[in-house]
Every structure is written in structure tokens, then in C-alpha cells.
Amino acid sequence: MLKIALKRRRLLPSALLFIAAALFSSADARVLIRTQQQTNSESRKQNARPEATVIEPTAAVPVTEPTLYSYEFTQPRFYIRHIIVQHDQNGKGSVSFERLNEDTPIVEQIVLSPVLLAHLTSLWQALRFLDSDTNYQAEKQFAHLGTMRIKMEQAGRQRTAEFNWSNNRNASELVSEYRKIADQAIFVFDVSIARENQPLNTPKLMELLDSMLKRSALSDPKQLIPLLKEITTDEHLPLIARNHAARLLKRIESPK
């Protein structure tokens, strides 16, 4: 019995050490598992964060430089002795004109049609006006016909050219188109005055319009359609003027 008891005493410390080691190993394992779980959890949280939004750069919107165009005509002896046509790159502008023995200019607002504006712009571009120093004056002088000036302003740059006659096709056509713009604006003004104060003058104005259409002396006849429609129904005007306006309206609406 004593030997058995001694053997048990010897085995007890060894068993206790084994159990303690097992417990410590289990604890270490639990700590290791908990640490791994925390690491995995933090990793999942980091992966769950929303990705940063990538903002794509927007394409730059081209900005068109404001551009001003002008045409000026001067001949003190003419009935229409001074004309200035001005407009911007959008076709908005004005026509100013002075008649003989009148000191106060008459100013009419205008809006050029897209087709007319495109034609004018193409002529300016063909001249390369701001980049050129070309002298458009022909060798032969025609001062009695009046002096013309064309001017362009853009981005702080400007240039003016003066001549009374030019052999340059683009320059000659440019001033011709501007003169048509002025003549059309003056006609519209004269018709408005006649309708208000001198209705008996409207038959002559319709004859003038007829002649201008035949000579292609108007910048954009289609812009006159609303005015002519009003004249055809204006009972304050002579019947001959209304009938003539109706014929002109038909010619403009359905050109051959």
C-alpha cells in the first residue's frame, strides 16, 4: 500500500504539469484564434470601405471670342450721305444713316439671318483681315463715289481699311453686301414712316421695292415677308399699294 501511495505521489506532479500545459496550450490557442478573428474582421471592414469616386476631367468648352464688324460709307454730296453698319459675331447690330441736310442720324436695330451672317463671315475670313495689311484701294481713284471703311475688332486686336474702289473680289463683295443691308434697313424705315404719316407715298415705295428686287439690291428679301403681309391687309393704304405688295410677296415667297 505504501508503495502504491508513493507511486501516486510521484505521478501527481507529472499529471498536474501535463494538465497545466494542456490548459496553457488551450488558452494560447483561444488567444490565437481570437487574434486571427479580429484580424480577419478588421480586414473585412477595410475591404468593405467604399472605393473613392474617380472624377473624370470634363472636356474644355471652346469659347468664341467676341467679334465686332463694321462698315462705313461717307459721301457728303449724296442724299444718303453717311451710313454705318455694325454687328457682332451673332448677327445682332444696327444701321445708322444720315440724309442730306440732316444732322441727326437715324438708327435702326437689325438682326442678320444665319445665311447672310455666314456669307459675310466667309468673306472676312477669305480676306484674313486681322492678319493682313493688304491695301484694297485700286490704282484708279473713284472718290466721287464715296469713301468706304471696313473694320474688325477681336480679342484686343483691330484693323480698319479704307478705299473708294477695290479690285479685290472679296473686299468688293463685302462692301456691296453691307450696302444692301443698309438699303434694306432704310427701306423698312421709310415704309414705317409712310404707313404712319404719309400713306399716299406707299405706292412709290412698292415700286422702289420692285426695282430693288429686280436688281438684287436687298440683303435678305425674305425678312420683308412679315412687313409685306401687313401691307396687303392695311386698309389705310391705297389699294394699288396693297395689290403691289401682294405681287411682291408672292415673288419673294416663290422665286423662280
Distances from the Cα of 51 to the Cα of 40, 41, 54, 221, angstroms: 19, 18, 9, 63
**What sign for the dihedral angle of Cα 123, 127, 131, 133?**
negative
Residue 164 pLDDT > 90: yes
Q: Mean pLDDT score of the chain, rounded to an integer?
A: 83
Write the pLDDT tens digit of every residue in 176-186: 999 999 999 99
Write the pLDDT tens digit of every residue in 218-229: 999 999 999 999
Residue 134 pLDDT > 90: yes
Domains and CATH numbers, the chain: 65-178 (3.30.1560), 198-256 (no CATH)
pLDDT of residue 64: 65
- Residue 120 or 6, more confident: 120
| Mean pLDDT of the 194-204 span | 97
Write the pLDDT tens digit of every residue in 49-97: 444 333 343 333 334 679 999 999 999 999 999 999 999 999 999 999 9
pLDDT of residue 255: 75
pLDDT of residue 187: 98
Write the pLDDT tens digit of every residue in 7-44: 444 444 444 433 344 443 444 444 444 545 554 444 44
The rounded distance, in Å, linking the Cα atoms of 117 and 140 is 31
pLDDT of residue 82: 98
pLDDT of residue 11: 42
Contact criterion met (CB below 8 Å) for 79 and 59: no
| Mean pLDDT of the 148-153 span | 98
